[in-house]
Amino acid sequence: MIKANNPDLTSWITVPQNSDFPIQNLPFGIAENAVGKKFVATRVGDTVINLSVLFQHGYLNDLGFNLSQFDTYRLNPMMKSGKLAIRSLRDRLSHLFSTNTSELQSNTPHTQEASHALSDVTMCMPIEIGDYTDFYSSKEHATNVGTMFRDPNNALLPNWLWIPVGYHGRASSVILSGQDIHRPKGQIKPDPSADPIFSASRQVDFELEMAFVTFEGKALGDSINTTEAEDFIFGLCLFNDWSARDIQSWEYVPLGPFLAKNFASSLSAWIVTLDALQPYAVSTPEQKPAVLSYLEFEGEKSYDINLEVALQPNKADETVICRSNFKYMYWNMAQQLAHHTVNGCNIRCGDLMGSGTISGPTEDSYGSMLELAWKGTKPLKLSKGEERKFIQDNDTVIMRGHCMRNDIRIGFGEVKAKLLPSK
């Protein structure tokens, strides 16, 4: 087991009950203090720790890093050091914050300088995203969509059970949790027998996803196999890949989604390392037919991450409308990365890979309004009696996720955004 994952560890930093961020988590993010200074941070409970301060005082300077990798506005420079270096960094942070050691705890000036209350900092975009790829890897989701829009008896397209289907998205419109978005506009075709019209989308939707962030990959022309794929994965975050269903249904043939997807995708502020998630690894669902050789893998490559989506109308209470789990995904991350690079495509440090909508086997585990309200034919009831077929103006969508085992909860916080009227 990775030392930092030891379930017996406790921290001298206060951790509220049911916090997503015990000492076993130690995620990474970018925080900004009250005077506008950005820095690489980790978090224990509701305390945000400035790693550049720890480095300057000698707590981290024998791990192969330099100050510029922590005194910066993105995680990419730190991530350039690779998986083993990040693992050693988490181990050191675990040591420093553990009740078993007094090295940092006893130095009050250093502790005060490095520590910030969560309420005193602003969380920032954690990574510089070079490229963004979105997959389509939930069998339940693909089956539901195929049933609604094509032939229920042949819901999955012929290639779906053979390859982790994906497409290249737009990195420029990936935004941080808390940033509101405007209802997108484009061509829609509400009357199948009439010409399309230009309009604000009438069917804005969320997509419940996880996303993983990569370390530096291999050179152009080389491939990453499933055995080594997780060595190239830095960590995961929550991801809401917003969608405009009516724009998408008109535009997606023959090249797939375009304006329906590139207007916004929201991610959570903290990146939870893949190392921290190892205790929650589980088996991938059975894959039939047998996959081709380059997609074969050994061991547990899926992760038991409980997920939920809440919808909050303007100035009203939220209603949890979906409970799902990342473990339902038919194609795992190792297979996605292996397929992405099998043709020699090179990935770079900070590339973002969306899982695709995460839907489970029951109606309350479907990961989109399209499925939950079944193309608008089964409106959802909210807590105050309101109904929703799709997201309305001034609705806020909130996604949360966590793992739980041996009373240790490793979570991601939340990703949230409000849908504002179109401009």
Backbone angles phi, psi at 240, to 5 degrees: -110, 105
Q: Is residue 389 a contact partner of residue 379, using CB atoms and an 8 Å limit?
A: yes
- C-alpha to C-alpha distance for 20 and 29, rounded to whole angstroms: 14
Collapsing DSSP to helix, strand or coil, 29 comes out as strand
CB 129 within 8 A of CB 166: no
**Residues whose CB is less than 8 angstroms from the CB of residue 320 and which lie 6 or more positions away in sequence, other chains included:** 308, 309, 310
Q: Which residues contact 35 (CB under 8 A, 6 or more apart)?
A: none
Give the chain's length.
423
CB of 138 within 8 A of CB of 330? yes
- Look at the block and give the residue holding tokens 């590139």: 262
Query: Among residues 345, 273, 259, which one has the least CA distance to residue 303?
Result: 273
Q: What DSSP letter does each residue of 89-126 carry, written as one string?
A: HHHHHHHHHBTT--TTTT-HHHHHHHEEEGGGSEEE--
Rounded to whole angstroms, how far apart are CA atoms 214 and 133?
A: 11
Active site residue 141: yes
Residue 270 Cα distances to 15, 40, 45, 376, angstroms: 17, 11, 13, 34
Rounded CA-CA distance 40/72 in Å is 7
Report strand pairing: 352-354 vs 132-135.
parallel
Which of 110, 116, 141, 402 is the catalytic position? 141
| Rounded CA separation 373/355 (Å) | 22
Write the DSSP assignment of 173-231 as a string of letters: GEEETT--EEPPEEEE-SSTTS--EEEE-S-EE-BEEEEEEE---PPTT----TTTGGG
417 and 177 in contact (C-beta within 8 Å)? yes
Catalytic residues: 141
